[in-house]
A and B are shown apart, each in its own frame.
Chain A
Amino acid sequence: MPIITDHLTYSYGGKKKSQTAAVNDISVKIDDGQFIGLIGHTGSGKTTFLQLLAGLVKPDSGTVYIDGEDIFAKDFNLHSIRGKVGIVFQYPEHQLFEETVFKDVCYGPKNLGLDSKETELRAYEALKLVGIEDEVFYQSPFDLSGGQKRRVAIAGVLSMKPRVLILDEPTAGLDPAGRKEILDLIENLCKSQNMTIILVSHSMDDVAEYADRIMVMNNGQIALDGAPGEVFRHREELESFGLSLPQVTDALMKLKDSGIPVRTDAITIDEAVKEIVRVLM
């Protein structure tokens, strides 16, 4: 289910549209099962871009094709997109509301019009996918820990069986162990379910480690797009966009600046260790 955006443009400000576009003429193709890290400073247009991909706002011009279908065409049933593209907003646990964890996760599929048997089956599967134990099912979602709440909220989106999962800073406010837990979960969804992931993050270290493709937004456009090793080669550009390098890549670049001939495309600690050992030992 590839996603193609064709000259996608959107600006705020209603009819006057005097402002610069929040999303400005973006044309990209996202293939099945890709893990995309979407980065950019606050106000670069990331959230608007996500909302367009999920069909939550209509573009001024251009469109989005999902599975070859124009989702903004007049005869397209936009409601059906909820079962295809799932979106997890920032602090999704603030949207938990039901009496029990299980009921909360059932809410989505129920609203897709599924019968109760199918609804419950999906809720069960989704909760298992995010690693929530059976004994938690009938507890109030408000009694759970921060990390658990967030996983339940993600299950609520997964129960609609999306093929594409969009997450807007899913690790904000979590401790390091909780962050890793959520990112490992997302990686697993990508690998075992072949789900397409679009992850918005302010942590360069996280996107470097998990994503296989990084898109950098600036002024409503995709300024850089490529594999992490490739994108993070553009140090000056990233800094001019208010972003930074993953600490490991930064260290390798500075080593190189100081005259040690290391390659600078390592992203993870293991890769960097290998490279430094190769050159210095």
Chain B
Amino acid sequence: MKIIKAEEVTFEYIRRDEDGNVESFNRALDKVSLDVKEGDFISILGANGSGKSTFAKHLNSILLPTEGTVWIDGMDSKDEEKLLKIRQTAGMVFQNPDNQIIGQVIEEDVAFGPENMGIPTEQIRERVDEALKTIGMLEYSKKSPNRLSGGQKQRVSIAGVLAMHPKCIVLDEPTAMLDPAGRKEVIRALRALNNVEGITIILITHYMEETIYSDKIFVMDKGKIAMEGTPREIFSQVDELIKYKLEVPKITLLAYELRKKGMRIPECILNVKEFTDALSR
């Protein structure tokens, strides 16, 4: 079952000057086709301006394709009648937690989504508690979001999406503003949602080491899908990635350099454990 299916998606935007004359013409997405299997953990990598965020915004009808079609759980993203259902199926979390949290109290913030869906009050209570519990923030439900750390705030944002019972969560650089502990916290939460709840995760990030547990990685370049494969397939192509302004995790690079020196070490090491295991054998 494909939770997301994009077929030849092109997105163009036209910039106009004050008089309404066309000033420039940009193609942010250029015939992007990809499938995401339900229950997968997907990462999307790419340089600034490669089209990642534009693509993400197509996954819950914030943007609509100029050409081509996006299906979200079988629904055409252009189908206005399905808009609410689409947004409920694929929830989004953005980079800056401070721009996404609006409630004065955490449980109010998490209730915002289900309230807008018209869920009966008693069920909202249930959904909010369940979402906060899943993400490990239940004990904070009556507190103000102001005092939370960055990682906790992002988890509240994720809980807000969870309360809408999505099948898929799309996250656009959710860790860019977090410290190392906060980053770990968010990635761990996403992996748990994926493993335990079976929710499809689509993670956009600039941090390579966050993607090593993905089922699949897509690399975008100039509005196109440039590479696609498992983390091991992607990160074994060191030079190719540099061409797309990316890199491999530091540990992968260290192992790669040691291999070049003639050390017997398997190709494409992805984490520190694999590395130490390979060398202490």
* Interface of A toward B, CB cutoff 8 Å: 40-43, 90, 145-147, 169, 172-179, 202, 204-205, 242-244, 246-248, 250-251, 254-255, 257-260, 269-270, 272-273, 276-277, 280-281
Q: Are A246 and B250 in contact (CB under 8 A)?
A: yes
Among B94-116, those with CB < 8 Å from A are 95
Chain B neighbourhood of A280, CB < 8 A: 263, 279
Q: Are B48 and A276 in contact (CB under 8 A)?
A: no
Q: Are B180 and A242 in contact (CB under 8 A)?
A: yes
Q: Are B208 and A176 in contact (CB under 8 A)?
A: yes
> When A and B form their complex, which 8 residue pairs have the shortest distance between CB atoms, in order from nearest?
A177-B245, A242-B181, A247-B250, A146-B48, A176-B247, A258-B280, A175-B47, A244-B180
- Bitwise, B242-260 to A at CB < 8 A (1) or not (0) is 1001110111011001100
- Bitwise, B170-200 to A at CB < 8 A (1) or not (0) is 0001001111111110000000000000000
Cβ-based interface call for B272 (8 A): yes
Given A243-B179, A247-B251, A260-B280, check contact A175 B46 (CB 8 Å): yes
Among B218-269, those with CB < 8 Å from A are 242, 245-247, 249-251, 253-254, 257-258, 261-263
Chain A neighbourhood of B181, CB < 8 A: 41, 242-244
Chain A neighbourhood of B50, CB < 8 A: 175
Closest to B45 in A: A175
A174 contact from B48, B151, B179, Cβ within 8 A: B48
Chain B neighbourhood of A254, CB < 8 A: 272-273, 275-276
B217 CB → nearest A CB, Å: 14
Bound complex: CA of A205 vs CA of B207, how far in Å?
12
Chain B neighbourhood of A257, CB < 8 A: 276
Between A and B, 10 residue pairs with Cβ closer than 8 Å are A41-B179, A42-B149, A176-B247, A202-B178, A242-B179, A255-B276, A273-B257, A277-B263, A280-B279, A281-B261
Chain B neighbourhood of A172, CB < 8 A: 176-177
A223 CB → nearest B CB, Å: 15
Given A247-B250, A281-B262, check contact A260 B179 (CB 8 Å): no
Q: Are B245 and A204 in contact (CB under 8 A)?
A: no
B157 CB → nearest A CB, Å: 15
Chain A neighbourhood of B151, CB < 8 A: 42
Range of interface residues on chain B? 35 or more
A243 contact from B180, B254, B276, B280, Cβ within 8 A: B180
Further contacts, 18 of them, CB under 8 A, given A175-B48, A244-B184: A41-B181, A42-B178, A145-B49, A172-B176, A174-B206, A175-B245, A176-B208, A176-B245, A177-B242, A242-B179, A242-B180, A254-B275, A255-B280, A260-B280, A270-B257, A280-B263, A281-B262, A281-B263
B250 contact from A147, A259, A260, A269, Cβ within 8 A: A269
Cβ-based interface call for B160 (8 A): no
A278 CB → nearest B CB, Å: 11
Among B63-117, those with CB < 8 Å from A are 95
Chain A neighbourhood of B258, CB < 8 A: 273, 276-277
Bound complex: CA of A248 vs CA of B253, how far in Å?
10
Given A174-B48, A176-B247, A276-B263, check contact A251 B272 (CB 8 Å): yes
Chain A neighbourhood of B39, CB < 8 A: none
Cβ-based interface call for B129 (8 A): no
Cβ-based interface call for B38 (8 A): no
Chain A neighbourhood of B272, CB < 8 A: 247, 250-251, 254
Chain A neighbourhood of B209, CB < 8 A: 247
Q: Are B206 and A42 in contact (CB under 8 A)?
A: no
Chain A neighbourhood of B150, CB < 8 A: 42
Bound complex: CA of A260 vs CA of B263, how far in Å?
15
A147 contact from B48, B176, B279, Cβ within 8 A: B48
Chain B neighbourhood of A281, CB < 8 A: 261-263
Bound complex: CA of A190 vs CA of B219, how far in Å?
34
Chain A neighbourhood of B276, CB < 8 A: 251, 254-255, 257-258
A118 CB → nearest B CB, Å: 34
Q: Are B206 and A260 in contact (CB under 8 A)?
A: no
Closest to A276 in B: B258
B47 contact from A90, A177, A243, A248, Cβ within 8 A: A177
Bound complex: CA of A235 vs CA of B132, how far in Å?
32
Chain B neighbourhood of A243, CB < 8 A: 179-181
Bound complex: CA of A280 vs CA of B276, how far in Å?
13
B142 CB → nearest A CB, Å: 21
Q: Are B261 and A145 in contact (CB under 8 A)?
A: no
Bound complex: CA of A205 vs CA of B253, how far in Å?
13
B14 CB → nearest A CB, Å: 14
Q: Are A273 and B261 in contact (CB under 8 A)?
A: yes
Bound complex: CA of A255 vs CA of B221, how far in Å?
37
Bound complex: CA of A43 vs CA of B148, how far in Å?
10
Given A173-B95, A178-B48, A251-B272, check contact A42 B182 (CB 8 Å): yes
